[in-house]
Amino acid sequence: MTFEDAAERHLDDVYGYLSWFTGDASLAEDLAAETFERALRLWHRFDPVRGSARTWLCQLARTVALDHFRSERRRTRRERLVAPPERFDEAFGEGLAPDLEAALAHLSADEREVVALRVLLDLDAASAASVLGISPTNCTTRLSRALKKLEEELNVAA
Amino acid sequence: MSQRDLIAEIRAAPPAAPAPLRERVRAIAATGPDEAPAERRSPLLQRFSGHRLLRAAVPAAIAAAAAVVLSLVFTRGHGTTRSADSASAVAPKLAPSRTAGAAPSAESAAPEAAPLSATLAVQVATSAKVAAAAHRAELIATSLGGTATSVRIDTGARSGSATIVLHVPPGRAREALTRLVRLGTVTSEQASAQGGNGTVRFSVSTPR
């Protein structure tokens, strides 16, 4: 697979994962572009034997997002500004029901990203766990907790 | 709503990348390497990747170190010495020059012992790729702790060329070359260890 193929095939996945992880569509857009720029530089390190291009790109996307949040935290601390509240408008896909979107906003970033990887991108437990840097068991537990929380939020709303 | 319905609803509305982002990523990908990473890797490395390679390499290194120690003890016992020349005789020699589209050799990936100066010319398909390759050459120099001391880019609608003089730390010139050759099809390459100071003159152009 060439880099161009991988970029074309997995752009939606990377963008979707970042949208859910960050809860901010426009930030996800910038981070996705940064992810592919970094992926291009590191493409020679991608090893298909160790995992799919999609998993590798999601791992890279996560690193890019975490780097961004770290530098943002440093910047806001330096400027003594209060971080703006997270925005959730149209962050998780345009076709999502409003009550589901509201329920998603109650999940933590950790919970949102595990739902994104396991449900939205349909990655298996081992691949999602390798993206998150946790064990597959831990990943499954986190997913189950997140789905239960979502279900409860939706039942309360109903 | 049950978890099954929840999962179905989430999967029914996957976020799609907006058109401007898609364009941006396509432009990034267009400057990229055409070959698959697996094709660049030797079959041995594919077979023994990561921890497996480490597991094979560590005992081999220990065995080699033990052999060296034993041979030193043995030769001292017999009153013989090793000259510095014999050590340099087995050091990897630098290829003086390569031309006309030669693929990067395994040598260029090896750590270099001596400072190096090099001239490299590559060809890319479009003038947009010329500018992108020039930009990436600068990034390569920066990422290796060096700089681009001179950049000249001349691109038109259909053709273009660029020449960049990069200065990288002398010990990293070979690494710079290994990464620069991936930016296009190599048309000529010259490397010299004599008076080498880590200067790489990189030029990129479209076919005439």
Contact check, Cβ <8 Å, B16/A12: yes
| Amino acid B36: pLDDT | 55
Query: B117-123 and B199-205: which strand pairing?
Result: parallel
> ipTM beyond 0.95?
no
pTM, full prediction: 0.51
DSSP codes joined into one string, B66-128: HHHHHHHHHHHHTT----HHHHHHTSPPPP-EEESSPPPPGGGGSPPSS--EEEEEEE-SSHH
| Mean pLDDT of the region B87-103 | 38
DSSP codes joined into one string, A26-65: HHHHHHHHHHHHHHHHHGGG--TTTS-HHHHHHHHHHHHH
Phi/psi zone of residue B123: left (φ > 0), alpha (ψ -120 to 50 degrees), beta?
beta
Which residue did the predictor score with more confidence, B200 or B195?
Answer: B200
User: Closest approach of chain B CAs to the CA of A44, in angstroms?
Assistant: 5
CA distances from A12 to A9, A17, A33, B59, B107 (A): 8, 8, 12, 44, 39
| Amino acid A156: pLDDT | 82
Question: For residue B108, what pLDDT band results from cuts at 50, 70 and 90?
Answer: very low
* Residues in chain B closer than 8 A to A101 (CB atoms): none
- Residue A40's identity, in one-letter code, is L
Shortest CA distance from A40: residue in chain B:
B32
Of B7, B22, B33, which has the smallest distance from its Cβ to A43's Cβ? B33
User: Which residue positions in chain A have pLDDT lower than 70?
Assistant: 75-95
Of B9, B25, B31, which has the smallest distance from its Cβ to A100's Cβ? B9
With beta carbons less than 8 A apart as the criterion, state whether B10 and B2 touch. no
* Residues in chain B closer than 8 A to A43 (CB atoms): 32-33, 37
Of B2, B14, B32, which has the smallest distance from its Cβ to A16's Cβ? B14
Backbone torsions φ then ψ of A6, nearest 5 degrees: -60, -40
Two tokens at B188? 């000529």
Average pLDDT taken over every residue of chain A: 85
d(CA B88, CA A83): 60
What is the tens place of the pLDDT at every residue in B15-59?
889 998 999 899 888 886 655 565 555 555 555 555 566 676 777
With beta carbons less than 8 A apart as the criterion, state whether A33 and B21 touch. yes
* Residues in chain B closer than 8 A to A150 (CB atoms): 6
Average pLDDT taken over every residue of chain B: 71
Query: B117-123 and B185-192: which strand pairing?
Result: antiparallel
* Residues in chain A closer than 8 A to B30 (CB atoms): 4
| Amino acid B53: pLDDT | 60
What is the tens place of the pLDDT at every residue in B171-193?
778 878 887 887 888 898 888 87
Contact check, Cβ <8 Å, B40/A44: yes
| Amino acid B85: pLDDT | 39
